[in-house]
Structure 1
Amino acid sequence: MEWYEALGLLLGAILVLMGIGMPVALAFLAANILGAWVFMGGERGVVQLLNNGWASLATFGLVPIPLFLLMGEVFFQTGLGARMFNAIDRLLGRLPGRLSYVTVLGGTGFATLSGSSMGSTALLGSLMVPEMNRRGYKTHMSVGPILGTGGLAIIIPPSALAVLLATLAEIDVGALLIAGVLPGLVLATFYGATIWLQTRIDPAAAPAYEVEPISLSKKLGFLLRDVVPMVGLMVGIVAMMIGGIVTPSEAAAFGALGVILLAALFRCLTLDALKASVKGALRVTLMAFLIVFGSATFSQILAFSGASTGLIRWTTGFELSPIAMLFVMFMVLLMLGMFMEQISIMLLTVPIFFPLAESLGFDLIWFALIMLLALEISFTTPPFGLLLFVMKGVAPPQTTMRQIYTAAFPFILCSLLVVALIVAWPPLALWLPGR
């Protein structure tokens, strides 16, 4: 069987199974079993494939996923996130469009601690949009920053999706987490500049309103009590990883323990909140482990059938420059993101794109960060970006999908600008990891 026939069989089986409603991880597993039967010698090949798949789960690199997820769940379920948002709101005073800035500042902190774009968007949408609408904010000033900030969870550590991508691609988890710090902060800065520009162009988009003045001592109290501990936890985790003091797994353990201790210190750690946190983290962890299992076996089938080497040989035969090939891969990710969710995209593309990127001479950490940014952009890419529908679900009923699409556009441009900066100046991504 030719390589393109093998690739067509595997991808076709996956798409058909997904089309009839089978969960993504199970669709990959079923297609892998079919591929093992066809290409690896029937029942014996299936047994070998399953053994290899179990081996892919017995890796220490997967430990940060459940711990980072638990960290975010505790932060959300115990109300620590709400405390931080309220404090930032009081600190900004009468700044024009301050609730939009609160969304970016508080959302960046929450995205960092939660590592979940959907969770971050759902929390911000339910907390901030009704209040911003009540204050007379136009839809693009309330919805846009939330959609943008939700995507920051993908690239600012601790990011469960970054850990998953690094595991699937078999690259350094810690280096990828650290590489996202500077681009994530630059992206958050661009978001703030976008809000400032929008308020200058149309002051009525974020009307000023009276706020109760608070003294400097009270501001310091809000800052030290409700902001510094949460942000300090994140900074401490990243600093320990950058300094080589802890591994990503140990950093995740410290982070989860730190959030639990903070919740206990603030007397908001209840048994119900802890149960809900463990349940939420466990649900997503099981899905992530199924995905790792499916992706590892899919990569092996592609290699064994000759599909991956044939595809790389075919694509490099066009004699495009490495940057042109990077652009093609980036556009493929964006187009897939219009119709598929991010984990499915990773499962389809990682076994193909990373060997191709290595053959083109790209630094794989640099390439993985660009891929994460592409996934972040595709979260909000019309018509079917996942965060667009999460926002529709939590926004007031009168909010239309057209308004949500329009609000997302300036923040998509910000993300594209960060991608361009990383391509033009790789040290933006590679300086902190020391590559």
Structure 2
Amino acid sequence: MDWFFPFALMVGLILFFMGLGLPVAFAFFVTNIAGLYLFFGGSVGVDQMISNFSAAVGTYALAPLPLFLIMGSLFFRSGLGDGVMDALDMCIGNLRARLSYVVLAAGAVFSALSGSSLANTGMMGSLMVPEMIKRGYKAKMAYGPVLGAGSLAVVIPPSSLAVLLGSLAHIDVGALLIAGALPGLLLAVMFAALIFVQTLLDPEAAPQYPVERVPMGRKIKAIAVNIVPMGVIVFLVVGTIILGIATPTESSALGCAGVLGLLIAYRCFTWKALWTSLDDAMRVTGMTFLIISASTTFSQVFAFSGASNGFIGFVTGFDPGPYLFLFLMVCVILILGMFMDQVSMMLITLPIFLPIAAHFQFDLVWFGLILLLAFEVGFTTPPFGLLLFVMVGVAPPGTSLKTVALSAAPFIACTLLLIVLIVIFPQIALFLPNLF
């Protein structure tokens, strides 16, 4: 049990400093310094940590991250999303819970244009929730679809979280991004089926109201003006990767250029929006790179101290089988998701989970997608799910966290069901990467 002391010390210090409210990157840095002095030769280890910084963040796989952030921020700050919402609203027709379907369709489109769950939820929540409440929608039909649609950005490419996971876990970023396309669309269909079932069981949850009939010509024009150009952006980002025309880095640059072109064509371009988008991306990228630098050293110290190999030997000694281990890993993420954000969970769990995945010879793209879906659930689990707080922030005054969390529960169940389906039928995740 020589491994137990460094394992308990490293993991315990991380959780302790996070519990004190120390930012994630600094919690890792303090833990790293303690580990380096104890297990890595003192000041020599600190020098090694500093020299690792440039190598950790200088990888080509990380280049798409700031570009995807710029693309998503430009899209949301320019107002292009309003036109997409109007066009989808016009095309849905007079269905019961039509606004819930509009939110879901818009969430799928926006996920392929931004890669940010927080931005998706904030935008759709602020635009649609007041209107849905005014129309008499119950909480589960107003908040639930917004939270479900917002979380799609975790798996539908270009997912910023997938880029980060691929870089940290040394998974092919392009393959991981492509792998999320089919499960993301399947999840959107499952959400639509859930909304349909909810309206069947409780028709009063989404009262039907008369809607102006829109001529087909007007619908076609709205699609051509507001949705088809967005489809071009999706092709530039996702299609070029799938067809092998561009790498993820090149596709992210094409996406930025495409959004800029749309802003100019729609006369939405302003220098203020561009500067704000660059500032948004700089802040997130800077903190992310700092976290990655700290995480890289943490993984090295974790392995050098013997904690990693010792823990793997200990847990595999029980020999419960690979799928039980996979189940336990997902459960750990779901529990951590109640108390911390996705990046923190990723940094804590990957040094432990990846060696276990390698031991059982899991396909890393398949395994990475399962982790992403589990992280997605963490976005909407109380008491600290980030999307729950975003929704409470845009909901009418007096809306409780409990109300929002209960509205999200059926959509969480759909995501968990998708994880089970991917475990049983791995080709749901691997079909596109293997094909292209």
Q: TM-score, normalised by structure 2?
A: 0.98
Structure 1: distance between partners of 2:239 and 2:180: 13
Within 5 Å, which residues of 2 pair with 1:305-320? Answer: 305-320=305-320
SS in 2 for 1:209: coil
Single out whichever of 207-216 and 306-315 deviates more from structure 2. Answer: 207-216
Within 5 Å, which residues of 2 pair with 1:295-374? Answer: 295-374=295-374
SS in 2 for 1:53: helix
Structure 1: distance between partners of 2:126 and 2:304: 48
Structure 2: distance between partners of 1:323 and 1:3: 25
Structure 1: distance between partners of 2:420 and 2:15: 32
Match status 1:124 vs 2:108: no
Q: State the 1:416 CA deviation.
A: 1.0
Structure 2: distance between partners of 1:261 and 1:287: 29
Match status 1:209 vs 2:209: yes
Within 5 Å, which residues of 2 pair with 1:186-335? Answer: 186-335=186-335
2:135 is aligned to 135
Contact residue 236 and residue 251 of structure 2 kept, 8 A: no
Within 5 Å, which residues of 2 pair with 1:170-189? Answer: 170-189=170-189
Q: State the 1:11 CA deviation.
A: 1.6
SS in 2 for 1:433: helix
SS in 1 for 2:226: helix
1:430 is aligned to 430
SS in 2 for 1:300: helix
Match status 1:101 vs 2:101: yes
Q: State the 1:2 CA deviation.
A: 2.2
Q: State the 1:237 CA deviation.
A: 2.2
Q: State the 1:334 CA deviation.
A: 0.3
1:91-122 alpha-carbon deviations (Å, 9 max, x no partner)? 11212111000000001111221111111111
1:7 is aligned to 7
Single out whichever of 70-79 and 274-283 deviates more from structure 2. Answer: 274-283
Single out whichever of 332-341 and 199-208 deviates more from structure 2. Answer: 199-208
1:156 is aligned to 156
Q: State the 1:398 CA deviation.
A: 2.6
1:36-63 alpha-carbon deviations (Å, 9 max, x no partner)? 1211111111101221232111111110
Structure 1: distance between partners of 2:405 and 2:21: 27
Aligned residues: 435
Contact residue 236 and residue 258 of structure 2 kept, 8 A: no
2:38 is aligned to 38
Q: State the 1:171 CA deviation.
A: 1.1
Q: State the 1:211 CA deviation.
A: 2.2
Q: State the 1:381 CA deviation.
A: 1.6
Structure 1: distance between partners of 2:193 and 2:256: 32
1:171-228 alpha-carbon deviations (Å, 9 max, x no partner)? 1000000000000000000001111111122221111222222211110000011011
Structure 1: distance between partners of 2:380 and 2:140: 14
1:65 is aligned to 65
Amino acid at match of 2:326: L
Single out whichever of 363-372 and 258-267 deviates more from structure 2. Answer: 258-267
1:421 is aligned to 421
Structure 1: distance between partners of 2:148 and 2:210: 27
1:24 is aligned to 24
Single out whichever of 23-32 and 368-377 deviates more from structure 2. Answer: 23-32
1:250-284 alpha-carbon deviations (Å, 9 max, x no partner)? 01110111111111111111111111111111111
SS in 2 for 1:383: coil
Structure 2: distance between partners of 1:265 and 1:174: 30
Single out whichever of 244-253 and 205-214 deviates more from structure 2. Answer: 205-214
Amino acid at match of 2:107: G
1:328-373 alpha-carbon deviations (Å, 9 max, x no partner)? 0010010000111110000000111011111011101100000000
Structure 2: distance between partners of 1:175 and 1:359: 21
Amino acid at match of 2:27: A
Single out whichever of 422-431 and 109-118 deviates more from structure 2. Answer: 109-118
Structure 2: distance between partners of 1:175 and 1:113: 18
Single out whichever of 174-183 and 35-44 deviates more from structure 2. Answer: 35-44
Structure 1: distance between partners of 2:162 and 2:268: 29
1:354-409 alpha-carbon deviations (Å, 9 max, x no partner)? 11111011101100000000000111122322211111111111322221121111
Q: State the 1:4 CA deviation.
A: 1.2
Contact residue 85 and residue 102 of structure 2 kept, 8 A: yes
Structure 1: distance between partners of 2:269 and 2:384: 37
Single out whichever of 209-218 and 139-148 deviates more from structure 2. Answer: 209-218
2:74 is aligned to 74
Q: TM-score, normalised by structure 1?
A: 0.98
Structure 2: distance between partners of 1:54 and 1:256: 26
List, as ranges, runs of 4+ consecutive aligned residues in structure 1 with deviation greater than 4 Å: none
1:146 is aligned to 146
Structure 2: distance between partners of 1:400 and 1:22: 27
Q: State the 1:236 CA deviation.
A: 3.7
User: Structure 1: 5+ residue runs without aligned partners?
Assistant: none
Amino acid at match of 2:406: T
Structure 1: distance between partners of 2:248 and 2:229: 21
Structure 2: distance between partners of 1:232 and 1:105: 17
2:406 is aligned to 406
Structure 1: distance between partners of 2:236 and 2:55: 33
Structure 2: distance between partners of 1:240 and 1:142: 35
Structure 2: distance between partners of 1:34 and 1:234: 46
SS in 1 for 2:382: coil
Structure 2: distance between partners of 1:432 and 1:241: 11
Structure 2: distance between partners of 1:33 and 1:86: 53
Amino acid at match of 1:384: F
2:378 is aligned to 378
Structure 2: distance between partners of 1:264 and 1:311: 55
